[in-house]
């Protein structure tokens, strides 16, 4: 599976202004709900925050992958957001997070959930991939950086 199969240019956002993890997730949920009428903003926010309470999704190196399963989700959906300022996300390396890849999967798609999470983590382990994503200054460039197969 490739990122291009779950991400679209309409679900990329650059330099979102948020001053905390909670606010970043709130604004991300709003952005996602605005781009897809099947997604309820409040429900998505509640699910993402609940997941963060179980175990923070900050990977390290400035990356977090907030994720959840939703009952009304019909397919795997990714959203890539960069933040204007890095925020504390309780990452494993204690570094603040400036890039969020939000992943929403159908409620019963447990195997697909794990598979896609692994693929995203693997991509973000490459410094050149992180650098391209971080260098993007508009949603189109961010999308192109994310779907590039060049590592």
CATH number at residue 45: 3.40.930.10
Q: How far is CA 30 from CA 34, 36, 111, 132, 148, in A?
A: 6, 10, 27, 25, 27
The number of folded domains in the chain is 1
Q: Catalytic: 67?
A: yes
What is the reported pLDDT for 73? 85
- Is 70 exceeded by the pLDDT of residue 2? yes
Mean pLDDT of the chain: 94
Mean pLDDT for 116-133 is 95
More reliable by pLDDT, 149 or 86: 86
pTM of the full structure? 0.95
What pLDDT, on a 0 to 100 scale, did the predictor assign at position 110?
78
Tell me the CA distances in angstroms from 11 to 4, 41, 140, one per residue in order.
11, 14, 10
Its domain, for residue 91, covers 3-147
Q: Write down the catalytic residue from 26, 32, 59, 67.
A: 67
């Amino acid at each position: 599976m490739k990122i291009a199969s779950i991400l679209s240019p309409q679900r990329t956002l650059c330099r979102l202004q948020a001053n905390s993890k909670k606010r970043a997730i709130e604004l991300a949920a709003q952005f996602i709900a605005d781009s897809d009428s099947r997604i309820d903003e409040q429900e998505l926010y509640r699910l993402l925050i609940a997941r963060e309470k179980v175990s923070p999704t900050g990977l390290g190196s400035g990356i977090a992958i907030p994720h959840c399963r939703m009952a009304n989700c019909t397919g795997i959906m990714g959203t890539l957001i960069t933040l204007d300022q890095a925020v504390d996300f309780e990452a494993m390396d204690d570094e603040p997070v400036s890039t969020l890849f939000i992943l929403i999967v159908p409620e019963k798609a447990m195997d697909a959930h794990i598979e896609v999470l692994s693929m995203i983590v693997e991509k973000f382990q490459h410094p050149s991939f992180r650098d391209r994503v971080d260098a993007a200054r508009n949603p189109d460039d961010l999308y192109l950086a994310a779907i590039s197969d060049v590592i």
